[in-house]
Each structure stands twice: as structure tokens, then as C-alpha cells.
């Protein structure tokens, strides 16, 4: 096992940062989890139930390599072994007519037990869910019970590593737990990711499963915003088409094959902040959201398993022609799954009734009391492999230091990270994208593993020079996506903004030491390589002069914590960022 290089002071080349996904704070509310378990139902009018054949789809999303148990509120939940136990219990007696589907971001932004092993254990976990018909030599087998699709995080390390993870092959830092590594035993499908030069799909757009003698099509897609939220190198040579257009093209091919029952698994979604019964189509979000996509889908689509928002969805949503589509999303990180029941008419081979509930994978109740032993053994091997590095204590924290932001968008943890990056590169300012801060720092001992979980992407730090005018432009680009403003965490300067002003003129003041920046003056700035490449829409950073590439961002944070030399680390929200309106 080639772990020697990882167990020193550095980390292996791994995922680049993306800023799209963030945990939904509603997800930790017990009442939200209880409401999610209500079943939503739809039945075709006039349908005769006597001949129906029931099949199941079990959907989950945004696993993010969450092999180990975690908590929801104050209760233990999730982890791969617990999730596996729930999924197996949910299909008991229906194993030959159940398909397990995931909606992307299965890897990337992962805890160390998966990430330090190139997320191979996360794929191995999925393989353990497969039936006897799943194999690496015939992934498209219609009787295999697994289907996956791509999320934006699958592109963190680029096309070559993505394809290696799916189809097998040795990694330069490997072998890890599996030797040789063979990739998946089931298909990943994606209709809207295309090789830009050849115009051909990167992966099969769909797969057909035979369930109780009836063909059921599964079409995959990923948010078309992926190029804006993944480092440019990660998507080089690829095009991301409009989701609905690409899905409908695949559906047309399925229809020509006589397939009438169709499930879409897509890495795009919204947050349902309230639950108002079985027919709540009011999913928020302008163009690109799941509601917009569903509205434009072919009427042959019956179910959409969604993701990306790390939240809950269980709704009956209408297409533009009035077709009712069942849309689900099961929170994130192994803590829930969608239990979807489909009733098929053997004569029309179409879905005539459908229902879903989103169940939390509590570890202290039900199937969670008996975690799957094979998956648990895999998790232990992964945790043991990385333990020497992960458990190294670097310092202590006087209090919880969290990502929770002020009304203006400033967080204590963001301040800590930005300060660490500015100190490491010796610059006037530092900017940190909030999507790159993946966890909170708890009070008490600070371990290497905790800091890795907070910053898991192995971005390089980049020093550059910007004029005062360019700094202001960078800050204006916090609203480059009006639907999802991204307020940068800052060090070395104070910022005031007015979000009610027109785009391009929202920054009211930018000061260094209380003095307004000189538009023509030159200032040194530190950002990570994701931002330096124009990620999250901060394209002005591409114009930075005199670039110098420094160490990995995590190494800078580790060094900064060690610099407290036994004194507790302490930081607060200081008013570095404020808003007028």
C-alpha cells in the first residue's frame, strides 16, 4: 500500500475545489426529517390495479465519500454500513425488482478515509450493494441492480481520473485497498456531458433495466453549471449541454426501443424548506433549477431522482403539458434515501402509479442497529489506513469556530482560513471562497483530519498582484450568479456592499487599514488555485499579474495552527464584511 507519501507533512494530489454544494441547515432539524418520511402518491385516473406489477427504485445523492457514521442533530445517522443496511432492508422480498440509483457527487469533497485513498473505497462500497449480475466486464447488464450518474465533484480531478475511477486502473499513489483496482461493477450514465471536439457523450446516456419482464429506462445528467463551479482543468475538453434537451434526446431513443417507464437521475436540485402535502410543486430557483428542468421534460419521464442541493425534495411536479413527475432528493452524505414505489401496467409497460418517502438512516433504530458487516469491514480498512495522519494533534481551539455567516456573509472560520493563506504567502490581502469550507472546527483538540475535512481539495495557494480597481471588480463578481451570490471570506481589508444596487456597482467601500484602496495602486493578493482559475465566476482573477504558486492550501492552514505554539486558536466575526442594505 503506497501510503508512505501521505503520512508525512503533505497530502497527495487530490480533488480541486468547487463551490456549488453546501449542507442545508434544515436537514438537521428532527421535524424536517419526520416530515420527509411522509409518502407522496400519484395514480393514473381510471387505471386498473389488478394487473399492476410493483418495482422499486431506491435513490440517494451527494454521498461525498461519507464512509464513517455522522450525526443528524444529536442522533447518530448514516455512514456506508448503516446506509447499506437500510437499502437492503428496503428491498427485502423485492431484490429482483429493485434498482439502487445515486444522483451524483458520490465522490469528491470527501472525508479522509475516502479522499486520501482517491475515493476508491466509496466506489467499492457501491459495488458491495450490487447483485450477482453486476460486473466490471458487463456494466450495462439489464439485470444489474445499480445505476449512477455524475455530479460536479466527479470532475474535480479531471476527465482522466474520473474515467480511471469508473473503469479501473492504477493510481500513481496506489494501490490502496483494492489491488488491482477494477472500477465499478455497474453503469454510470450521463446524457449531457459531451466530448467538445468529437461531439460524442463521455458516458452512455442511459441504461435499460428489465424489472418483472418490463423494460425501465434510466437516464443520467449533471447540472449544466458544472464548468462554473469546477476548476477549468477539471472540465477541459468537455461540454455540458442543457439538461432537459439532452435528457429528452435520450428519452426519444428509449421510446423508439419501446421503453415507456423512464427514471431520470440528475445532479441538480432545489431546497424544499417546508413540506405542504403531496402536491407541492413550488420548488424555488430560476433557470437551471430542477423545477425548470422538469417543466421541459418529455412526457414519458415518470420519476426524477435529484441531488446537488443537499436537501429534501418529495414533490409531484407538472411538465409544461401537464404530465405529473415525481421528484425526490434525499438530503446528503449517507443520512437518507428515497424509497420509490412504481406500479407498472404489463400491457402498456408504463408507470400507472408512483409514490415516494424519504427516510433518514438513523443508526440508533431499525436497520441502523445492525450495520452491514461487509461494508463495515471495508470502512474499517479505510479508516485504519489513514489513521496515522488523520489523528495527529496540531493544537487546540478555545471554542467552536464555524462556517455560520453573519447577515453580511462573514464567518469566523472563513476569517481563520483567509488569515492563514495571507500569512503563508505574505500578501496584503487574501480571498477565500465559502464553498471551499466544508466543515466546522469544534472546540478542543485540533487534528490534521479535522483540518483536512474543512479543506479537502488540495488547491495550491497562488499569489498575484491586482490594482485597487481589479480588487473591486473581483468583489463585484460575488454576484456573477444572481441566484447564488458567493460572498468571499477576506483577510487584510474591510468591505461594505449594498446588494440592492445594480449589478456591477454593489461594492460601496474597500479599505486597507481604514484607508480606501487606490484604484491605480498595486496590491498583493492570495487566492487558491480554484479561484485563480476563474472558478465560481471570479474571472477577474485570471488577469492577476506576477503570479507565484505556493504550497497546498491545507499545508498553509496546518502551519498557521501550529504557529499558535500551544495557545488556543481563537477567531471571531469581526465586521470585515458589512452591508448597507
> pTM of the prediction?
0.86
Residue linked to cell 471536439: 197
pLDDT at 278: 42
What is the number of helices (H) and of strands (E) in the chain? 14, 27
242-294, pLDDT tens digit by residue?
999 999 999 999 999 999 999 999 999 987 754 444 434 455 443 347 999 99
Per the CB < 8 A criterion, the answer to whether 432 and 488 are in contact is yes
30-44 burial by CB neighbour count: b if 16+ within 10 A, else e? eebbebbeeebebee
* pLDDT band at residue 20 under the 50/70/90 scheme: very low
70 Ramachandran zone, left/alpha/beta (phi>0; psi -120 to 50): beta
The C-alpha cell that represents 444 in the structure block: 478542543
Report d(CA 277, CA 271) in Å as an integer: 15
Element (H, E) at 542: none
Backbone angles phi, psi at 549, to 5 degrees: -90, 130
pLDDT, greater one: 212 or 481: 212
393-451, pLDDT tens digit by residue?
999 999 999 999 999 999 999 999 999 999 999 999 999 999 999 999 999 999 999 99
Element (H, E) at 112: helix 112-115
Amino acid at each position: 500500500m503506497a501510503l508512505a507519501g501521505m503520512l508525512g507533512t503533505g497530502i497527495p494530489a487530490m480533488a480541486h475545489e468547487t463551490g456549488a454544494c453546501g449542507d442545508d441547515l434544515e436537514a438537521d432539524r428532527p421535524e424536517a426529517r419526520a416530515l420527509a418520511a411522509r409518502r407522496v402518491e400519484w395514480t393514473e385516473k381510471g387505471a386498473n390495479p389488478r394487473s399492476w406489477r410493483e418495482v422499486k427504485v431506491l435513490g440517494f445523492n451527494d454521498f461525498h465519500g461519507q464512509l464513517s457514521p455522522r450525526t443528524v442533530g444529536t442522533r447518530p445517522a448514516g455512514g456506508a454500513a448503516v446506509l447499506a443496511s437500510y437499502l437492503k432492508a428496503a428491498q427485502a422480498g423485492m431484490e429482483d425488482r429493485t434498482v439502487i440509483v445515486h444522483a451524483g457527487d458520490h465522490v469528491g469533497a470527501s472525508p479522509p478515509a475516502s479522499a486520501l485513498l482517491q475515493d476508491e473505497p466509496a466506489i467499492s462500497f457501491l459495488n458491495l450493494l450490487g447483485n450477482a449480475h453486476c460486473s466490471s466486464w458487463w456494466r450495462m447488464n439489464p439485470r444489474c441492480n445499480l445505476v449512477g450518474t455524475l455530479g460536479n465533484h466527479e470532475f474535480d480531478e479531471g476527465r482522466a481520473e474520473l474515467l480511471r475511477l469508473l473503469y479501473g486502473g492504477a493510481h500513481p499513489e496506489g494501490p490502496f485497498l483494492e489491488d488491482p483496482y477494477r472500477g465499478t461493477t455497474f453503469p454510470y450514465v450521463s446524457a449531457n456531458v459531451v466530448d467538445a471536439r468529437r461531439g460524442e457523450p463521455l458516458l452512455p446516456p442511459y441504461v435499460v433495466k428489465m424489472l418483472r419482464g418490463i423494460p425501465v429506462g434510466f437516464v443520467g445528467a449533471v447540472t449544466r453549471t458544472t464548468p462554473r463551479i469546477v476548476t477549468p482543468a477539471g472540465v477541459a475538453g468537455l461540454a455540458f449541454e442543457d439538461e432537459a434537451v439532452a435528457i429528452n434526446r435520450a428519452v426519444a431513443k428509449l421510446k423508439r426501443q419501446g421503453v415507456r417507464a423512464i427514471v431520470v437521475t440528475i445532479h441538480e436540485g432545489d431546497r424544499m424548506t417546508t413540506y405542504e402535502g403531496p402536491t407541492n410543486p413550488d420548488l424555488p430557483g430560476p433557470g437551471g433549477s430542477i423545477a425548470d428542468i422538469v417543466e421541459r421534460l418529455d412526457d414519458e419521464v415518470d420519476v426524477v431522482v435529484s441531488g446537488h442541493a443537499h436537501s429534501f425534495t418529495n414533490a409531484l411536479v407538472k411538465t409544461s403539458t401537464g404530465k405529473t413527475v415525481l421528484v425526490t432528493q434525499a438530503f446528503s452524505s449517507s443520512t437518507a434515501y428515497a424509497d420509490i414505489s412504481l406500479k407498472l401496467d404489463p400491457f402498456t409497460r408504463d408507470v400507472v402509479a408512483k409514490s415516494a418517502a424519504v427516510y433518514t438512516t438513523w443508526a440508533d433504530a431499525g436497520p441502523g442497529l445492525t450495520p452491514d458487516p461487509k461494508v463495515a469491514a471495508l470502512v474499517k480498512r479505510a479508516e485504519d489506513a489513514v489513521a496515522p495522519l488523520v489523528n495527529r494533534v496540531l493544537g487546540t481551539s478555545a471554542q467552536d469556530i464555524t462556517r455560520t455567516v453573519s447577515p453580511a456573509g462573514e464567518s469566523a472560520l472563513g476569517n481563520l482560513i483567509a488569515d492563514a493563506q495571507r500569512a503563508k504567502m505574505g500578501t496584503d490581502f487574501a480571498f477565500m471562497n465559502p464553498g471551499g469550507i466544508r466543515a466546522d472546527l469544534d472546540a478542543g483538540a485540533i487534528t490534521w483530519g479535522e483540518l483536512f475535512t474543512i479543506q479537502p481539495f488540495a488547491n495550491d495557494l497562488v499569489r498575484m498582484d491586482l490594482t485597487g480597481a481589479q480588487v473591486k471588480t473581483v468583489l463585484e463578481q460575488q454576484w456573477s450568479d444572481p441566484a447564488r451570490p458567493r460572498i468571499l471570506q477576506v483577510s487584510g481589508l474591510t468591505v461594505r456592499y449594498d446588494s440592492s444596487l445594480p449589478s456591477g456597482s454593489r461594492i460601496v467601500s474597500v479599505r486597507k487599514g481604514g484607508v480606501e484602496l487606490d484604484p491605480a495602486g498595486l496590491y498583493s493578493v492570495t487566492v487558491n488555485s480554484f479561484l485563480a482559475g476563474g472558478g465560481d465566476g471570479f474571472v477577474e482573477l485570471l488577469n492577476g499579474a506576477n503570479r507565484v504558486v505556493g504550497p497546498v492550501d491545507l499545508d498553509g492552514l496546518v502551519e498557521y495552527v501550529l504557529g499558535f505554539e500551544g495557545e488556543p486558536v481563537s477567531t471571531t466575526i469581526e465586521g470585515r464584511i458589512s452591508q448597507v442594505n
